[in-house]
Structure formats: structure tokens, C-alpha cells
Amino acid sequence: MIKKDSIKEGVVLFNEKCGICNFEIKHYKKRSKLKFQDCSQLGDKYLKQLHIKFADNIELVGVDAFIYVWNNTRGYHFLAKIIKLPIVYAVSKLVYKVIALLLFYRFKIMKKLVS
């Protein structure tokens, strides 16, 4: 369980080098007061899924991280409510893991091609 006071201190870790990730995060930056940090140099753990890191080292990952972002982004509260519905949540977690893994490997392959 996340304490209310630590919610204010969450930092969204995203892969700025991934065109898809960066495009989406730029949109959220315009509509929220969240703190964002590029994680492209932090290692594969952070490149595989969206992470929210709190001051007390608690992390939200994947769909839970998106729910946090949407709850704190103007105009996206409704999406967080829909995704939190039990069946939708379970399916979303599965679909997100597959898509995130595909994006991760695409990023790794593209990085090797450019190097």
C-alpha cells in the first residue's frame, strides 16, 4: 500500500530514446505536474516497463504505473477507473506485458543497428 504523502513524490521513469514511449510521455507532461526522468541509461529493468519510483523506494510498474499517471493527468482519470475494473485490469496487465516486451526488444535491436 502506498502512503498518501509518498504519492506526491513519485517520479515517472520512462525510456526517452524509445520514440513511442517518448511521444506518449510528452503528451502527459503537457497535461500533468508529474516529475519525469529518462531511464534509458538505468538498465534493462527500467526499459522493459514504465516505472514510478517514490522517495521511500516503493515502485509501481507497468499497468499500475499507468494508472498512477492517468490518475494524475488532466483528462485521463476516466481511463484509470476503467482499467481498475477487475477483468479489464487482468487483461490489461497481460496485454501490456506483451506490448512492453516487444517494444523493449525493438529498442534493443534498433540500438544495435545504430551503434
When pLDDT is averaged across residues 33-58 and rounded to a whole number, the result is 88
- Residue 80's φ and ψ, nearest 5 degrees, are -60, -40
- Average pLDDT, stretch 66-95? 96
| Whether the Cβ atoms of residue 51 and residue 9 lie closer than 8 Å to each other | no
The answer on pLDDT for 106 being more than 90 is: no
pLDDT over 80 (residue 115) = no
Average pLDDT, the chain: 86
Q: How confident is the model at residue 17 (pLDDT cuts 50, 70, 90)?
A: confident
Looking at domain 4-114, its CATH class is alpha beta
H/E segment holding residue 54: none
Ramachandran class of 86: left when φ > 0, alpha when ψ lies in -120 to 50, beta otherwise? alpha
